[in-house]
Structures are given as C-alpha cells and as structure tokens.
Amino acid sequence: MSHLEEGLLHALLDGEVPSPELPPIQAHLASCLQCRERLERERLLLGEADGLVELLEVPAEGSLRPAPKRSGDVHWGRRLAWAASLVGAVGLGYAARGTRAPHARDEVAVNAAESRADSAPVSPAAQQPTNQPRLTPAEPAAPPPRAAANAFAAKSAVQEQAKAAAADQLGKVTASSGARRDTAAAPPATPAARPPVAATEGAARARENALRRLGDSQFRLEEVVVTGVNAQASGSAPVLTPPEPIGFADAIRRLGGSLRLIEGLIPLRLEAQGLFVRVVYATAQGELVLSQQLVDGRVEYRLIAPAGFPADSLARLKARVRE
Amino acid sequence: MSGLLAELFAQYHGSLVRMLYRRTGDRDRAEEIAQETFARAVVAPPRNPRPWLFAVALNLVREDARKATRQGRRLVLYKAEQPDREAAPDEELDKSERVARVRSALEGLTERDREALLLKAEGFNYDEIAATLGLARGAIGTTLARARRRLVEAYRAGEEKHHVAS
C-alpha cells in the first residue's frame, strides 16, 4: 500500500473513515513510521486550525453597535429615533440656552499636539443613537432578531460526539498498529470546549428579548432624546447631522489625502459627521474614536476614549497613530 | 411561528449565526441572513434541515458579496471582536490583533475551503458538508486538509509579518 494521502489522514483524525476501510489503513500505519509521523503532524495542524476558528467568537448581545447600513437598509424605527433625537436636541438646547456651562465629558479626551479646542467633537454616545437595537416588526413566520449570547457559546452536542468518535476511531487504529500508541491515541489538541448550553434555552431567551425590545420602543426613543440633551449641555459644538458611514476612499478624500489610523488596530467602522471623519475602534470599555478634521490644509486629530479607559493605554495608542 | 420552525430555530439558530458571523465578520449581517434563511424555511420546509439551512445561508452570503461587488463596495472592514470584559486593555489589543489575523487568513482561503472549514467547526460530518456544499463525500477530507493547512500557514505568515513590523 502506498503512503496515506493527506485527505485520508484528516478523515481518520475526524473519525470519518468507514469501519470496513480501516483494516488496510491500520496495517499500513503499523508498518510505516513516515505515515505515523505525518499523522501526528496533521493532528497538530488540525488542532491549531480549530483553535484559530474558535477565536472568532460571536460578540455578546449589545456589545457591538450595528454595522453601518446601506441607505436602503435603514429601518423606519431607526429613522424615527433619529428624528426624535434631533427634535429633542434642538428643542431642549434652545430651552437651556441661557444656562449652558462647561460640563464634564463622559469620556476621556486626549488632544493631539496640533489639535484646537474649538474643533472638539461631541461625545460619541451623543452622536450615535443608532446604538439602540433595531426594531423588528412582529412577524409570525420570522424568528426573533437575535439569539441570547449564551446560545453562541454553546458547542453543539453533535460536534462533541464527532470528536469523541474520532478519538475512538484513532484509538482503534493506533492500538492495533502496536506502535506509538502513547502519542497517536491521544485526542486531537483542540482547545477546551465551552460549557454546553441548551439551544432551546437560548432560543427562548431570544424570543423574550425580541418581545421586550418591541415593547420598549418608546423607552428607547426617550433615551435617544436624552442623549441629544447631553450633547447640547456639554458645551461642545452642536451637531445636528447624524454620522454617516463612509468608505476609506471617501475618508481620505475628505481629509485631503491623509487619513490617520491607530497602527495594529482594526477599525470597527469609518463615519463622517459634518467636517469630522471618525475612525471608530471597539474596546471593552466602549468605543474609541480617532476624530479627524482638515483645517488649513492640515489634519487635526483627537483620540476620544470611553470612560474608564486606562490613561497609560490611551497614551500608548496615541503614540501609535499613523498617517 | 409554526412548531416546526420553532424547533428548527431552537436547534440551529445559534450555530447558524455563529457560522455566518465567522464568515462575514458582521454580527448584524449574520443575524439578518439567519432570519432570511429561516423565513425561507417557512415557505419551503426542508426535509434535511441542517444542510439545507446552512446551504441557503451560504448562498445568501455569496449573493450579498456579489451585490457588494457590483455596487463597488469592495472594501471589507473587519469589525473587531468584542474582547472579554475582564481582560486588560493590552490583552484586548493582542486578542483583537490575533482575531484580525485569523479573519485575514480565513479570507485568503478559497470559498469552498473556507465554507468546509466553518461547517466542520459547527460539528458537521463529512456527509453533511458534502450535501451542503454540493461536493462528493470523498473530496471532503482533502478539502479540509488543504483548508486547515492554508489557514494555519496564512495565520503564521501574518504573525511573522507583525513581529517584523514591530
């Protein structure tokens, strides 16, 4: 028998070789050191690849803001929320015009050396009421819009069974080979599985969340209005245009050809608000914003971090701002 | 929601959204596509639900990508993954960078390799992967072997590049 093909080695590791086909493979592995070593290498590769894929965890509910939408995708509920926030901001800002005072910002702002005080952008929270979950009309046929975070962490029982079957099959193969049983019989080096959670529990929670969101729509509109008030009261320049998602090309064009980014970080999104171009990054404490503006042919920028973001980390990030 | 759909939803929604999130890098998009997939299941209840649901969902992803290309939206912005709440900022940055490298490596695979890998990560066996992707069962081992090797190689290459740069 010629050497075992790579695909067959992976089928063996995945427990997918039918029983009738196992004996010649077992016999070959028993006599071929080279194939046993290859099997071991592929086992490590498989474990590493599985571990990499598992790094891509679904973010917990509410931890990420909705992605920038194409214009046709904007939901009526979100439009309504924006309209309410603008009306509220203008109205309450007018009412409070005589009592405006400097107000502590919710986030820590670090001015770049060349930044000007009068170019201060408003709080990201005030600028982005689209953070609210979207309203999804009740539709009997459609499932709830989001599953509970726990459902994402659940490993399927089928997957666990498949891994067990693979380990079992490999155990049989290597035990019968009479050689290298100690290493080959070990289960693949996969990362520890997350604790299983019943899928039905997650779905029930998702349904509850969907109903709760629909019921809370009025409440969320009020939250948006309050955000608008904060923007006015903070003493920042009033911004009446909502941020709009833009692409890199557009951002570079708006800044006269020199967009700045934080080296080593992946932007969550790019957006424009008035003259400002905002590069938004996700952190555990909230969103970190690199706000930029073209002034007299030069780009001025500010790094705006959410409350609770460590100052030393912020300083390190500031040093990593690159054109 | 019919009993059948409720059952399908309870059984597969979490897994489907996870696979779609890994495929698209966009949680909201993943959930939208999952909803659309389940809506289609209502219209035409599938006999073999899991491969059917995942095949429809992957078709929708491809369709969406083609539309994006036609509209000139060629740029893919990878959304940074949500770091653990208790993790220190440096750890978050490190994790965020690793996740970005995995995404980049995954994007470098062929569509077939990438989809086979993501389906396997959801616990699909070779028969189900073959049924979902319309491939011969005998080709799945080779496809997965290639996908895993290329993913790991691309990730390591990204890691080396990062170390050289820093």
Min CA distance, A20 vs chain B (Å)?
Answer: 15
Q: What is the mean pLDDT of chain A?
A: 60
pLDDT for the residue A172 = 53
Report how far apart, in Å, the C-alpha atoms of B122 and of each of A194, A247, B23, B107 are: 13, 33, 12, 18
Please give the pLDDT value at position A161.
53
Output the pLDDT for position A136. 32
Whole-number pLDDT of residue B130: 96
A317 compared with A84, residue with greater pLDDT: A317
Alpha helices in A195-310 (DSSP H): 199-215, 217-233, 248-254
CA dihedral (B148, B154, B158, B164) positive or negative: positive
Structure tokens at A77: 């509920």
pLDDT digits (tens, 9 = 90+) for A12-45: 999 999 999 999 998 999 999 999 999 999 999 9
B143 pLDDT higher than 90: yes
- Average predicted confidence (pLDDT) for chain B: 85
Tell me whether residues A152 and B97 touch, CB distance under 8 A. no
Closest Cβ–Cβ partner in A63, A66, A155 for B82: A63
> The pTM is what?
0.48
Predicted confidence at residue A196, as pLDDT, reads 37
pLDDT tens string A58-82: 877 644 443 333 333 333 333 333 3
Position B131: which residue type? A
Taking the CA of residue A140 and the nearest CA in chain B, the distance in Å comes to 5
**How many Å separate Cα A66 from the centre of its chain?**
10
First to last CA, chain B: 53
pLDDT of A231 reads: 33
CB B79 within 8 A of CB A245: no
Q: With bands split at pLDDT 50, 70 and 90, how would you rate the model's confidence at B139?
A: very high
Residues from chain B that touch A282, judged by Cβ atoms under 8 A, are 79-83, 96
pLDDT tens digits, residue range A184-241? 333 333 333 333 334 445 445 554 554 444 333 333 322 222 223 333 333 344 445 6
* CB spacing of B30 vs A58 below 8 angstroms: yes
- Tell me the two tokens of residue A101: 């005072």
pLDDT digits (tens, 9 = 90+) for B2-32: 677 788 889 999 999 999 999 998 889 999 9
User: What is the mean pLDDT of the segment spanning A135-156?
Assistant: 36
Of these ranges, A138-147, A185-194, B28-37, B90-99, the one predicted with the greatest mean pLDDT is B28-37
* C-alpha torsion A27→A30→A35→A37, nearest 10: 160
Q: Which residues pair with A286 in a beta bridge?
A: A283
Interface test with A, best of B81, B143, B146 (most A CBs within 10 A): B81
The type of residue at B134 is G
Three-state secondary-structure class, residue A291: strand
Mean pLDDT score, A134-154:
35
B114 CB contacts (<8 Å, ≥6 apart)? B23, B106, B107, B147
| Rounded CA separation A281/A270 (Å) | 9
- Pick left, alpha or beta for residue A248 (phi over 0 → left; psi -120 to 50 → alpha; otherwise beta): alpha
pLDDT at A119 over 70: no
Closest residue on chain A to B76 (Cα):
A247
